[in-house]
Amino acid sequence: MTDHTIRRAGRFALAMALATTALTGAAFAQDCTTKIGAVLPTSVDWGKPIAETAQFVVDQVNEAGGVQGCKIEMILRDTQVDPKVGVDAAKALVDLDGVQVLIGAVSSGVSMPILTSVTVPAGVAQFSCCSSSGAFTALAKEGKTKGLWFRTFATSNVQAVVGAKVAKDKGYKSVAVLYKNDDWGQDIGKLVAEHLQAQGITVTASVAINDAQPSYRAEVTEALAGQPEAVYLALYPTEGISAVREWLSLGGTQNMILANSLKSDEFRDAVGLQYLGSTQGTDTSSPRVASADAFVASYKARFNAEPNGPGLANSYDATMIALLAMEAAGKDAKGADIAAAVARVTDPAGTPVTADAAGFAAARDVLAGGGTVLYRGATGNVRFDENGDVSAPAVIWSFTETGTQEDTYITLEEVDALVGGSN
Amino acid sequence: MIQNLVDGILVGSVLSLGAIGLTLVMHMLRFANFSHAELLSIGAYAALVFDAVFSALLPPLAASIGPLSMTWALVLALVAAVGVTGASALAIDRLVFRRVRAKGSELSMVFASFGVAMIIRNVMGLVFGLGTHLYSKDIVFAVVVSRDPMLLIKPDQVFVLGAALLVMVALHLMLSRTTLGFALRAVAENPTLAQVNGVNLGRMIALVWVLGGGLAAIAGVFYGLTNQISPMIGRDLVLPVFAATIVGGIGSVYGAVLGGFVVGIAANLALAVLPSGYSPSVPFLIILAVLLVRPNGLFGEARA
């Protein structure tokens, strides 16, 4: 080693020392940043608002001073509703950005491989706004989620039981079920068939609809064979449009019952409102409580629009609970600590806090004093069961010229009664 | 059952058109072109754009033809789309495949075709969005041909089948009756010998691309007419089209026609036997079965 390189190494060491001092100084000045990851389908029309709502939470928390004195930076990546793309995105966030909290994904079929192949192996806490498949419950029961999985969206069972109620109320005697051939679709398809049969309705056929097929004619023909009075559709708009247009053109009934995934303008426009007159859909809903109204008001103030898209309130709560849990878990907490701290921020006996910047600041004080918090969120008082699941009230809706309208509201108690009565 | 059979024939006609172009390119240039199905997507979107343009310029053209959902504007758009897609196929060859051909092996060509497919698919998504488009929002109701056994057919599908058969007959006449057709077949048979006899190889390769692209455009528009248009058309169709080509035997135009119908019918009939969740496996099974029994396809010949 020459004198020259030694001098250079010395200068480098000095520079490093200075930099380190500068960094420590910055930390005292509360100018640090903590990264969290988000994998959401931003390239589809209904996915973007979900991501914007998550960012809204991050902005509010930063306004309240951030988590553990550090600003939160949410790194958002697109899943394109594709499991492969979603897993790649999640892997990059976990491995390269080192996030300990992952928000997402929307579809169960995307969330599931992320959970099993990315977040659980890496010990990262995952909060999904919108995945509803019962497969997660089953996985949690087997202990394979390691308590790292939470979702603010009720399981498909709520929608399935309400879908069967619609069929019964309308007096349909026979129903065919078309379901998307992924985790979510298989789950809700199976559940709705069970609930329909429990109501004494014949299920003439349960037909799986695969993604990306050149034609759905054979599937539709199979479903038509039993000449059902109505059809239950658990599909996404892309294949839903194709299958339903085929269904109608082959003389299938217009008595359709839709899962919330088809609550989309794209679907309504491509099929045509004139064919959707006797169609009703189901969806889970925010409870009619003050904290939910407060969310609607703050959303309108921020985005100048009603929070009408699917999963917005759920996205808000998923993100807020994740950040509250990070605050509760302390500085530089790992995913498992954050997941464990969720119970401290959703404690029914805790101090109630609101879903906004002030609520977050209030929660910080309580948590710093060793107390627990009851988060009153956009979807009501969120309470996870041991599998990371929540229940929810439901609505029955139908399409209108401008979008959708609510026909019936079913409270949490009524949903629980329906579920209990059907099982 | 009869319904599945008829549906299979109707789906098969679209696959056949795509497979003809693919089999010509594969035979002549001796590589598996995985980007061929993307030409269907280019054709479908080109027709969508021209359809909107023609309908706006000449509103009377936007009226439906008889019981079809097809309009005169779309017929004109189809012609324009054939041109655009043929030109795109040629441009892709000039930009990518010709350069790779000059330097790389057959395997490099296959990998290049994967890359081209991805680029085209994503450019389509970027320009037109990932959502679905339709030529016509009206739903054309199927006609009940027979009640027992139940048989329903859509006018559009009969038209598509007829038009596809017409195109195939025209292609057959061109290949078997014209000097151009002889030259094409000669190059496919033995490029060196064909050149010795005064056939311009470069021009024949260009012709194959234009022909393949044009047929793909027709298949793409017909697919869009009976289903819907999305940037994923190429991804959804690449496997059935390949299966049709392999079943028919690489290089055989008539084999490709038959292969298209075989794959279409098999995929539809399979649902009568298999649960619907397994239907995507059918093209794979057909490829496997054919390769095991007749490695060169039904009409293909072994090549030294």
Secondary structure letter of residue B229 according to DSSP = B
- Whether chain A has a CB inside 8 Å of the CB on B148: the answer is no
Joined together, the tokens standing for residue B245 give 């080509």
Q: Residue A255 in contact with residue A230, Cβ under 8 Å? A: yes
What's B264's DSSP letter?
A: H
At residue B304, the 3 state secondary structure works out as coil
Please name the residue of chain B whose CA is at the shortest distance from the CA of residue A225: B150
Tokens at residue A381, please?
Answer: 């008082």
Mean pLDDT of A74-101: 94
Please, which residues have CB within 8 angstroms of residue B287's CB and are 6 or more apart in sequence? B242, B243, B246, B247
Residue A23: is its pLDDT beyond 60? no
Q: Which of A169-183, A233-247, A381-395 has the lowest mean pLDDT?
A: A381-395
Question: How many helices (H) and strands (E) are present in chain B, helices listed first?
Answer: 12, 2
Does B300 map to a domain? no
What's the pLDDT tens digit per position in A317-328? 999 999 999 999
Residue B25 in this model has a pLDDT that exceeds 50? yes
pLDDT for res B119: 95
Chain A contact for B280 (CB, 8 A cutoff): yes
Helices and strands, counts by H and E, chain A: 16, 15
Tokens for B128, please give them.
Answer: 């037109």
A323 touches chain B (CB under 8 A): no
Q: What is the pLDDT of residues A333-351, one digit of tens each?
A: 999 999 999 999 998 889 9
Q: Tell me what the mean pLDDT of segment B91-101 comes to.
A: 93
Average of per-residue pLDDT across A308-323: 90
What is the value of ipTM here, to two decimals? 0.78
Chain B nearest-CA residue for A224: B150
Q: What's the confidence (pLDDT) of residue A353?
A: 92
CA–CA separation, A179 vs A231, rounded Å? 11
Query: In the numeric block, which tokens belong to residue B196?
Result: 């010795």
**Total tally of structural domains belonging to chain B:** 1
- The C-alpha atoms of residue B191 and residue B201 are separated, in whole angstroms, by 7
Q: Residues 107 to 136 of B: which have CB under 8 A from any A CB?
A: 125, 130-132, 134
Contacts of A292 (CB under 8 A, 6+ apart): A286, A313, A378, A379, A380
Mean pLDDT lowest among B41-50, B67-76, B293-302: B293-302
Determine the distance in angstroms separating the CA of B180 from the nearest CA of chain A, rounded to an integer.
34
**Cβ <8 Å between A241 and B228:** yes
Calpha distance B40→A415 (Å, rounded) = 48
Q: Is B4 on the interface with A (CB under 8 A)?
A: yes
Q: What's the rounded Cα separation, in Å, for the pair A167 and A199?
A: 9
Task: Tell me the one-letter amino acid at B25.
Answer: V
Is B150–A249 a contact, with Cβ atoms under 8 angstroms apart? no
Q: What pLDDT band is residue A8 in, cutting at 50, 70 and 90? A: low
Quote the CA–CA distance of A26 and A20 in Å, as a whole number: 10
Percent of chain B with pLDDT over 90: 37
Mapped onto helix, strand or coil, the DSSP state of residue A69 is: coil
Distance from CA of A244 to the nearest CA of B (A): 10
CB-CB neighbors (< 8 A) of A181 in chain B: 276-277
The answer to whether A33-153+289-381 and A156-278+394-422 have equal CATH topology is yes
Instruction: Tell whether A88 lies on the interface with B, counting CB pairs under 8 A.
Output: no
Q: Which of B88, B99, B95, B116 lies closest to B32 in space, CA to CA?
A: B116
Instruction: State how beta strands A174-180 and A71-78 pair.
Output: unpaired
Residues 6+ positions from A128 with CB-CB distance below 8 Å: A103, A104, A105, A106, A111, A149, A150, A151, A152, A153, A318
Average pLDDT over residues B98-120: 91
Report the pLDDT value the prediction gives residue A421, as an integer from 0 to 100. Answer: 62
B244-253 average pLDDT score: 87
Do the beta carbons of residue A179 and residue A186 sit within 8 Å? Answer: yes
Q: Residue A420: exposed, middle, or buried by beta-carbon count in 10 A (0-12, 13-18, 19+)?
A: exposed
One-letter amino acid identity for B204? M
When mean pLDDT is compared over A234-238, A318-322, B69-73, B279-283, the highest value belongs to: A318-322
Tell me the percentage of chain A whose pLDDT exceeds 70: 92
Instruction: Say whether pLDDT at B304 is over 50.
Output: no
CB-closest option in A218, A237, A251 to B4: A218
ω into residue A83 within 30 of 0, thus cis?
no
Among A210-214, A227-231, A402-406, the range scoring the smallest mean pLDDT is A210-214
Assess B298–A contact: CB distance below 8 Å, yes or no: no
Cα separation, A403 vs A409, whole angstroms: 17
**Nearest Cβ partner of A249 from B7, B10, B140?**
B140
- Chain B residue with Cα closest to A268: B137
Q: Confidence class of residue A76 from pLDDT cuts 50, 70 and 90? A: very high
How large a percentage of chain A has pLDDT more than 90? Answer: 53
Residue A398 zone, left/alpha/beta (φ > 0; ψ -120 to 50; rest): beta
Q: Is residue B298 part of a domain?
A: no
Quick one: pLDDT band at residue A24, thresholds 50, 70, 90? very low
Write out chain A residues lying below 8 Å of B236, CB-based: 212-214
In contact, A257 and A167? CB cutoff 8 Å: yes
CATH number reported for the structural domain that contains residue B138 in this entry: 1.10.3470
Domain that holds residue B11: 2-293
- CATH number of the structural domain A33-153+289-381: 3.40.50.2300
A271 touches chain B (CB under 8 A): yes
In 3D space, the residue among A217, A237, A226 whose CA is nearest the CA of residue A193 turns out to be: A226
Q: b vs e for B252-264, b when ≥16 Cβ sit within 10 Å of the residue's Cβ?
A: bbbbbbbbbbbbb
Break chain A into its structural domains and give their ranges: 33-153+289-381, 156-278+394-422
| B276 at A interface, C-beta within 8 A | yes
Query: Which residue of A181, A222, A272 is in closest CB contact with B137?
Result: A272
> What φ, ψ does residue A101 adopt, rounded to 5°?
-130, 130
Measured CA to CA in angstroms, residue A54 lies from A60, A319, A325, B1, B59 at distances of 10, 6, 15, 50, 46
The type of residue at B137 is K
Give one word for A311, left, alpha or beta, with left for phi > 0 and alpha for psi -120 to 50. Answer: left
Largest CA distance in chain A: 92
Residue B251 inside a domain? The answer is yes
A/B interface, count of CB pairs below 8 Å? 98
| Average pLDDT rounded to a whole number, residues B29-54 | 93
The mean pLDDT value for B73-88 works out to 94
- The 3-class secondary structure across A132-193, one letter per residue, is CCCHHHHHHHCCCCCCCEEECCCCHHHHHHHHHHHHHHCCCCEEEEEEECCHHHHHHHHHHH
pLDDT value for B303: 57
Longest dimension (CA), chain B: 61
Nearest CA in chain A to B137: A270
Q: What pLDDT sits at residue B94?
A: 93
Question: What element of type H or E holds B72?
Answer: helix B72-92
Burial of B268: CB neighbours in 10 Å, binned 0-12, 13-18, 19+: buried
Q: What pLDDT score does A390 carry?
A: 86
Among A206, A215, A227, A253, the residue to mutate for chain B (most B Cβ within 10 A): A215
- Provide the CB-side half-sphere exposure for B178 (13 A, CA): 9
End-to-end CA distance of chain A: 78
* A382 and A152 Cβ atoms separated by less than 8 Å: yes
Determine the residue type at A149: W
- Chain B residue with minimum CA distance to A81: B130
Judging contacts by C-beta atoms under 8 Å, the chain A residues touching residue B240 are: 214
Q: Decide: B256 and B167 in contact? Cβ < 8 Å.
A: no
Choice among A13-17, A347-351, A407-411, B287-291 with the minimum mean pLDDT: A13-17
| Number of other residues whose CB lies within 10 A of the CB of residue B274 | 13
> For residue B232, what is the nearest residue in chain A, using CA coordinates?
A212
- Does any CB of chain B come closer than 8 Å to the CB of residue A55? no
- Residue A232 φ then ψ, to 5°: -105, 130
pTM above 0.80, yes or no: no
| B4/A221 Cβ within 8 A | yes
Nearest to B152 by CA among A59, A247, A281: A247
B contacts of A245 (beta carbons < 8 Å): 139, 228
What was the pLDDT predicted at A92?
Answer: 95
Secondary structure (3-state) at A381: strand
B116, B96, B95, B114: which is closest to B104 by C-alpha?
Answer: B96
Which residue did the predictor score with more confidence, A193 or B29?
Answer: A193
Model confidence pLDDT, tens digit, residues B152-211:
888 888 888 899 899 989 999 998 899 988 898 888 788 888 889 888 888 999 999 999
On the question of pLDDT at A65 being above 80, the answer is: yes
**Mutation choice for B interface testing from A181, A249, A256 by most B CBs within 10 A:** A249
**Nearest-angstrom CA–CA distance, A342 and A352:** 15
pLDDT digits 0-9 by tens, B254-269: 889 999 999 989 888 8
What CA–CA distances, in Å, run from A201 to A192, A227, B27?
11, 14, 56
B161 contacts chain A (CB < 8 A)? no
Average pLDDT over chain A, rounded to an integer: 87
- Please name the fold of domain A156-278+394-422: Rossmann fold (3.40.50)
The pair phi, psi for residue B113, each rounded to 5°, is: -65, -35
Please report the sign of the dihedral spanned by the C-alpha atoms of residue B12, residue B17, residue B20, residue B26.
negative
Compare all CA atoms of chain A with the CA of B144 and give the residue at the minimum distance: A250
Mutate one of A187, A217, A250 to test the B interface: name it (highest B CB count within 10 A): A217
Task: Tell me the pairing of strands A174-180 and A202-209.
Answer: parallel
Contact A45 B131 (CB under 8 A): yes
What's the CA gap between B20 and A310, in Å, rounded? 44
Q: Do A241 and B132 touch (CB under 8 A)?
A: yes
| Residue at B240 is within a domain | yes
- Please compute, for residue B27, the number of CA atoms within 13 A of its CA located in the half-sphere on the CB side: 33
Place of tokens 């985790």: A183
